[in-house]
A and B are shown apart, each in its own frame.
Chain A
Amino acid sequence: GAVVSQHPSRVICKSGTSVKIECRSLDFQATTMFWYRQFPKQSLMLMATSNEGSKATYEQGVEKDKFLINHASLTLSTLTVTSAHPEDSSFYICSARFQGSLNYGYTFGSGTRLTVV
């Protein structure tokens, strides 16, 4: 249980274009999802917290107009990288917190490798 599906797994786009990444919770409802970015050999850095039906909360230094987050339903959150530039090339991962009867935790999507050329 508590599976999150993320698509696409890899995407290459041209500089200046936009890319949308989808994150779906398959067997549970996720009122909150988290988006992380990871550069090579670095830790996962939280970019934003996505809340179903309301605006996302962005971490300091993350441009909200560049990284558009939409969480229109309890099972889907999307991250759109607008006007992508080579420096946006990174590994993007979504996550959701789940609450079970015996435990709780965080489950992660498989990640999206974005390359901007």
Chain B
Amino acid sequence: QQPVQSPQAVILREGEDAVINCSSSKALYSVHWYRQKHGEAPIFLMILLKGGEQKGHDKISASFNEKKQQSSLYLTASQLSYSGTYFCGTVSGSARQLTFGSGTQLTVLP
């Protein structure tokens, strides 16, 4: 089953913060985050492998609550380049298929 993301869309001004949530009905063993620009392949942001883990890259960070089967992506002081659609991904199956969440469209305005 596909992880559910919220919000579906968010519009913010340059410099503002945003939080994107990812929730799964199945147990999560790892969470992946990607950003996709229109017509392009998804770009890897980060992986969280353990419950309680938090990671950060530049001004983008994420947390993973294994018990709640949730992950959140935090974008701080957003830049125009942050615009795109963000997907979380969960891994399952013997072939370790990556299943993408429903997506969150982020638009950063000047």
Contacts and interface: CB of A to CB of B under 8 A. Distances in A.
Interface of A: 32, 34, 36, 41-46, 49, 51, 57, 91, 93, 95, 97, 103-111, 113
B97 A49 contact: yes
B98 A49 contact: no
A43 B100 contact: yes
Contact of B44 (A46, A91, A106, A109): A106
A114 B2 CA distance: 24
Nearest to A103: B47
Contacts of A45: 100
Interface string B69-110: 000000000000000000101000101111111110100000
A51 B42 contact: no
B96 A97 contact: yes
Given A43-B87, A43-B103, A105-B47, A110 B97 contact: no
Contacts of B58: none
A95 B76 CA distance: 29
A64 to B, nearest CB: 16
Given A91-B39, A105-B44, A51 B99 contact: no
A34 B41 CA distance: 13
Contact of B42 (A44, A97, A113): A44
A34 B98 contact: yes
A107 B89 CA distance: 13
A72 B3 CA distance: 32
A66 B73 CA distance: 38
Contact of B97 (A34, A42, A107, A111): A34
Given A103-B47, A106-B32, A111 B39 contact: yes
Given A49-B95, A103-B47, A110 B40 contact: yes
A111 B41 contact: yes
Given A106-B44, A108-B42, A111-B40, A46 B97 contact: yes
Contacts of A46: 97-100
Contacts of B101: 43
